[in-house]
């Protein structure tokens, strides 16, 4: 077996540059291999995000699925979470969404789940799909799928029922109108797919909203990452023009959700995870909470306070879903701003994150700044620093060599983590979707000391940096 013949295969999904790493030939072969490996029947739901290449890729994907003898439910332009919802409906055996999430416009990809939102990772099926694809004819020899000789009447049906109304009814049942704060909201779709769902949802719930970057496409040149510093500055400027109580932004396929206070300042997702975990544990004492470990002390404190079960997870939506399902968790929070919900088949949802936060604000009769202030009294952290490193494995080894002697605890779990007397810690992890390494720092004491320690760590890896990023400009206390 040829090892990793396709560079677009990642640990948790499929993602690459269009058309070099992922194109119409690729998705056609993928569809046939995916169906063959998982022995799929019934209906496969297929949707897409707003990228220029997504419509062509979706059409090629649906043609290949039909050619394989399986019916298609065309979800059209939609959020990824609508695809997860589709997977819970009768007869749909899998969902494939054409999206590269927050990545810049040159990228595209595929997010796949089986029935009832069961995630597919490289270890749970994508490796076998890649192997099957490697045995197929090379695209240069002709189209991966040739449907020109097949009669249209012989093709399995292509359905196009709009699932948005059904999903909105589901959300309204989960989050009744009278449980929600009707704060003035500034919504930022980042020209992604959020408005296709949040537009009608907020209207039906009677929420007072205005939109920034509302319409799908064209996406921002730097991508649709809602925590990108340039994009957060744009959001702050937008919110300064009117009195808002809360700002909310989603990424390109709207499965990530971030929050801004009334001044337009980004609330770190680390603190949001703590608030949501507390809310669910108040409702379900002792339940399991899943979290990634890049920043974790506050999350673990909340879980312990309410007698919950703390479940560590690798980063990535597929891994979080798997841990959620294995532990029947009520909530899972990832530092990247993915929020997972037990009552949504353990899938992530940007809409449910928004609605749960509105429930918290209603119940506490507090602003988001007031809620976070209590957390900040006992915790401080820096923003996540993402760097492209030359020889990242050597960089990891250099940090391990230097810091292991003085660290109270060093452990390997989805990266490398160093704890210094339970006063401060840092973690380094390799991204599963980009050629980047993530650095995170947190402390239970003085923020100035944390900045000093963080700068020392950054100085240690400076020989491995492939650009001239000014780290001092990126490090501050959140």
Angstrom distance (rounded) from CA 449 to CA 421: 14
Please say whether the beta carbons of 392 and 435 come within 8 A. no
Nearest-CA neighbor of 358 among 171, 185, 240?
185
Please say whether the beta carbons of 417 and 411 come within 8 A. yes
Question: Which residue(s) pair with 440 in the sheet?
Answer: 427
Tokens describing residue 387: 């760097």
Q: Is 101 assigned a catalytic role?
A: yes
Angstrom distance (rounded) from CA 121 to CA 10: 8
CB-based burial label for 448 (10 Å; 0-12, 13-18, 19+):
exposed
Residue 341's alpha-carbon distances to 13, 98, 256, 401, in angstroms, are 20, 23, 13, 39
Tokens describing residue 77: 């332009």
Tokens describing residue 107: 């990228």
Active-site option among 101, 254, 313, 427: 101
Please say whether the beta carbons of 71 and 85 come within 8 A. no
* Cβ-count burial 416-426 (b if 16+ within 10 Å, e if not): bbbbeeeebbb
Tokens describing residue 46: 């297929």
Alpha carbon 431 to chain centroid, angstroms: 12
* Cβ-count burial 120-151 (b if 16+ within 10 Å, e if not): bbbeebbbebbebbbeeeeeeeeebbeeeeee
Tokens describing residue 95: 């969902």
Backbone angles phi, psi at 386, to 5 degrees: -110, 125
**Residue 370 φ/ψ region, left for φ over 0, alpha for ψ in the -120 to 50 degree band, beta for the rest:** alpha
Angstrom distance (rounded) from CA 298 to CA 274: 7
Tokens describing residue 460: 């240690």
CA distance between the termini of the chain? 48
Nearest-CA neighbor of 196 among 423, 351, 412, 12?
351
Instruction: Say whether 410 sits in a helix, a strand or coil.
Output: strand
Angstrom distance (rounded) from CA 184 to CA 306: 31
Q: Which residues are catalytic?
A: 101
């Amino acid at each position: 077996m040829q090892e990793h013949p396709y560079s677009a295969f990642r640990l948790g999904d499929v993602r690459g540059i269009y058309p070099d790493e992922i194109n119409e030939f690729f998705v056609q072969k993928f569809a046939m291999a995916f169906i063959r490996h998982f022995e799929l029947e019934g209906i496969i739901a297929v949707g897409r995000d707003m990228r220029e290449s997504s419509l062509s890729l979706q059409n090629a994907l649906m043609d290949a699925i039909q050619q394989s003898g399986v019916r298609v439910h065309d979800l059209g332009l939609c959020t990824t979470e609508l695809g997860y919802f589709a997977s819970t409906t009768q007869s749909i055996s899998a969902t494939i969404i054409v999206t590269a999430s927050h990545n810049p416009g040159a990228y595209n990809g595929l997010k796949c789940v089986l029935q009832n939102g069961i995630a597919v990772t490289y270890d749970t099926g994508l490796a076998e799909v890649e192997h099957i694809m490697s045995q197929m004819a090379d695209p240069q020899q002709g189209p991966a799928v040739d449907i020109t000789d097949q009669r249209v009447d012989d093709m399995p049906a292509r359905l196009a029922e709009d699932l948005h109304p059904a999903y909105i009814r589901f959300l309204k049942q989960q989050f009744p109108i009278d449980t929600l704060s009707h704060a003035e909201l500034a919504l930022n779709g980042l020209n992604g797919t959020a408005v296709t769902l949040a537009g009608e949802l907020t209207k039906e719930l009677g929420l007072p909203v205005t939109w920034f970057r509302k319409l799908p496409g064209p996406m921002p040149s730097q991508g649709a990452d809602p925590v990108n510093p340039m994009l957060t500055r744009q959001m702050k400027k937008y919110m300064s023009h009117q009195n808002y109580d809360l700002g909310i932004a989603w990424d390109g396929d709207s499965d990530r959700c971030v929050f801004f206070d009334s001044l337009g300042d980004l609330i770190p997702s680390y603190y949001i995870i703590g608030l949501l975990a507390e809310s669910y544990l108040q409702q379900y004492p002792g339940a399991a909470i899943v979290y990634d470990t890049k920043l974790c002390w506050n999350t673990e404190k909340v879980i312990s306070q309410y007698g919950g079960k703390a479940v560590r997870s690798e980063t990535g939506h597929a891994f979080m879903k798997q841990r959620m399902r294995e532990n029947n968790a009520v909530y899972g929070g990832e530092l990247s701003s993915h929020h997972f919900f037990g009552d949504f088949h353990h899938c992530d949802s940007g809409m449910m994150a928004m609605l749960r936060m509105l429930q918290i604000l209603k119940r506490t009769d507090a602003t988001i700044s007031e809620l976070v202030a209590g957390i900040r009294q006992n915790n401080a952290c820096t923003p996540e620093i993402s760097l492209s490193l030359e020889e990242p494995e050597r960089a990891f080894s250099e940090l391990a060599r230097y810091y292991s002697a003085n660290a109270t605890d060093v452990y390997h779990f989805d990266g490398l983590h160093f704890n210094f007397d339970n006063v401060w810690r840092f973690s380094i992890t390799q991204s599963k979707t980009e050629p980047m390494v993530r650095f995170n720092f947190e402390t239970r004491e003085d923020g100035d000391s944390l900045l000093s320690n963080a700068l020392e760590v950054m100085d240690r890896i400076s020989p491995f940096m492939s650009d001239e990023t000014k780290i001092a400009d990126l490090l501050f206390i959140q």
